[in-house]
Amino acid sequence: MLTIIKISKFLSKRKRLILESNEITDGSSLDLIDVAKNLAKEKGIKANEVVEAMESAIAKAGRTKYGYDLDIRSKIDEKTGRIGLFRYQEIVNNINEFPLEERANKINLNEIPKESDLGIGQFLVEELPPLDFGRIAVQTAKQVIFQKVKEAERIMQYDEFKDKVGEIVNGIVKRVEYGNLIVDLGKGESILRREELLNREVFRRSDRIRAYITDVKYDLKAPQIYLSRAHNNFLVKLFYQEVPEIYDGIIEVKSVARDPGSRAKIAVFTKEKSIDPVGACVGMRGSRVQAVVNELQGEKIDIVLWSEDVATFVVNALGPAEVEKVVIEEELKKIDVIVPDEQLSLAIGRKGQNVRLASLLTGWNIDILTSSQESERRSEEFKTLSQNFIRNLDVDEVIAHLLVTEGFSSMEEISMVSSEELSSVEGFDESLSNELIKRANLHLEKIKAEHIEILKKEGTDDYLLNQDFLSTHQLLKLNDNGIKTRDDLADLSSDELKDIITDINIEKANQIILESRKHWFEDGKK
């Protein structure tokens, strides 16, 4: 505080000036401004931005000399190079009304010279003695200009590449840092992380490189352009460049699956009947696909014909393996694929690669079985189902075998079938059909009663016990996971519910969750 008082006394002896007053001239300042302007022009920076930064730096130097708590500002005349240093004080009625730390930058109205027409809320501007700019100019200017140039380059880099996300760019490896590549793109630097490179891929300084822009961020401390060669869309964009039909939109790329650097599958489709999409992507003597393979360091690429029919698409995706039969379970989005015994290793691929990529490409869970495995499995299933019917329906093997042969796999299916439909089974009459349906219903009621008794003891609420969209067997699964009330069920997401009850699809899960939440909205209306 003592320093401020001394300064105020000193300044009072000087003529008080407003901002428009004549400024202090420093002999070296004009040259400094010229250098700043030339550098700004060279780097594509606005000259006023550099000048403003210099004003800020000079003002900082002024506060260092006269007091850090003073409002000191600098003004540079870009035409003459004159540099002025000024102290600003806000005019107030009573300075004592403000906190002590703010009073240094306040002045009472009655202390303002009578000739001044300034009022409350305006600033009294006092010119300060010049600093030794010759001594500090070099260091200040150097630091400020460097920072401003770097900042401007980052901004220019961001503006240049922010709309290029999803494109392929060419660059030169500038340096390697801990396995990550810093790539010079001409108008900016980018980073290609080690995990975004292909397996066993090595680049050195000055190597040319092509990569896919995954993201562009504004960051003053690090490269803000992020590249990848392992991204699925890098493969897609390479085909865009090599196949005119894809670029023109005649051929669509439906999906992609990759083990970067090893193997990839790409599904293509066209509505043009005169065009073979697979052949177009392969090119004459494989020229088009080979160009992509070469860029990806020998990555093997399977071009697959996309089909709206799931079974056909899965069969195509598993190529080159031959498929005998497929069994689709739509609710579980699972498909069993049966192949000849000698085709098993080809269908699975090395370390399961072929079936894994086919699964990613199609979006279906694929299980590979040989013909003999399928036969053994069906035989075991036949035996298990027959024994279940013999035990729960109290029938002999013949009737049980007939039921399994006709496609019945559970007591629920028998209970829901009509008597007429069941009577159509060879050897079954109406009386036998009615009796089987009756026994199936009695068994299910018995099981349900047992489950309800268990659920009541576990504390399951009445809403869950009386609803009709979940079986008691499914309620037991929920109970095992701590879901015992309507609110417990409503708090779940659809994905969480599907994980607990695996025999429902996501649409069914959504319906159950929405139904369980209805009372929340009804309570809100009330």
String of DSSP letters for 176-191: EETTEEEEE-SSSEEE
* Cα–Cα distance, 232 to 241 (Å, whole number): 15
Q: What is the mean pLDDT of the chain?
A: 82
* Cα–Cα distance, 105 to 123 (Å, whole number): 9
- In this structure, are strands 83-92 and 123-127 parallel, antiparallel, or unpaired? antiparallel
Determine the number of helices (DSSP H) and then strands (DSSP E) in the chain.
22, 15
pLDDT of residue 303: 93
* Cα–Cα distance, 119 to 87 (Å, whole number): 17
**Integer angstrom CA distances of residue 121 from 92, 118, 323, 398, 449:** 6, 9, 86, 103, 83
Report helix angle 371-393 to 430-458, nearest 10.
90
**For the segment 340-372, what is each residue's pLDDT rounded down to a tens digit?**
888 888 888 888 899 999 999 999 999 888 888
**For the segment 381-417, what is each residue's pLDDT rounded down to a tens digit?**
888 888 888 888 888 888 888 888 888 888 888 888 8
| Partners of residue 270 on adjacent β-strands | 251
What's this model's pTM, rounded to 2 decimal places? Answer: 0.62
| Partners of residue 263 on adjacent β-strands | 259, 300
Q: Is the CB of residue 348 less than 8 Å from the CB of residue 337? A: no
Q: Is the CB of residue 369 less than 8 Å from the CB of residue 336? A: yes
pLDDT of residue 361: 93
DSSP 483: -
Buried b or exposed e, range 179-211, using 16+ CB within 10 angstroms: ebbbbebeebbbbbeeebbbeeeebeeeeebbb
**For the segment 277-310, what is each residue's pLDDT rounded down to a tens digit?**
999 999 998 899 999 999 998 999 999 999 999 9
493 Rama sector, left if φ>0, alpha if ψ -120 to 50, beta otherwise: beta
pLDDT of residue 19: 31
Tokens of 227: 């590249």
Average pLDDT over residues 143-148: 70
pLDDT of residue 140: 60
Q: Is the pLDDT at 127 greater than 70, yes or no?
A: yes
CATH topology identical between 2-153 and 162-230: no
Distance of CA 405 to the CA centre of its chain: 49
* Cα–Cα distance, 198 to 295 (Å, whole number): 11
pLDDT of residue 281: 93
The H or E element containing residue 172 is strand 168-177
pLDDT of residue 32: 64
Tokens of 339: 């192949």
**For the segment 14-58, what is each residue's pLDDT rounded down to a tens digit?**
333 333 333 334 445 566 667 667 767 766 667 777 777 778 777
Helix runs in 394-424, H state only: 397-405, 411-416, 419-423
pLDDT of residue 523: 57
* Cα–Cα distance, 126 to 135 (Å, whole number): 24
By the 10 Å C-beta count (0-12 exposed, 13-18 middle, 19+ buried), 61 is classed as: buried
* Cα–Cα distance, 526 to 522 (Å, whole number): 7
DSSP-derived 3-state class of residue 369: strand
Q: Is the pLDDT at 503 greater than 90, yes or no?
A: no
pLDDT of residue 15: 32
Q: What is 2-153's CATH superfamily?
A: NusA, N-terminal domain (3.30.1480.10)
**Domain at 162-230, CATH from 3.30.1200.10, 2.40.50.140, 3.90.550.10, 3.20.20.100:** 2.40.50.140
CA dihedral sign, ordered 504, 505, 508, 514: positive
Q: Is the CB of residue 464 less than 8 Å from the CB of residue 479? A: no
DSSP-derived 3-state class of residue 502: coil
**What are the contacts of 469-476 at 24+ separation with CB within 8 A?**
469/511, 469/512, 469/515, 470/501, 470/512, 472/447, 472/448, 474/501, 474/503, 474/504, 475/451, 476/451
By the 10 Å C-beta count (0-12 exposed, 13-18 middle, 19+ buried), 435 is classed as: middle
Report helix angle 29-43 to 47-66, nearest 10.
140
DSSP-derived 3-state class of residue 281: helix
**For the segment 171-199, what is each residue's pLDDT rounded down to a tens digit?**
999 999 888 999 988 877 889 999 999 98
| CATH (residue range 459-526) | 1.10.150
88 phi, psi to nearest 5 deg: -110, 135
Q: Which residue has the tokens 């279940």?
A: 388
Q: Per this entry, what is the length of the chain?
A: 526
**For the segment 452-474, what is each residue's pLDDT rounded down to a tens digit?**
888 888 888 888 888 878 888 88
Task: HSE, CB side, 13 Å, CA atoms: give it for residue 139.
Answer: 6
What ranges do the domains of the chain cover? 2-153, 162-230, 459-526
525 vs 271, residue with greater confidence: 271
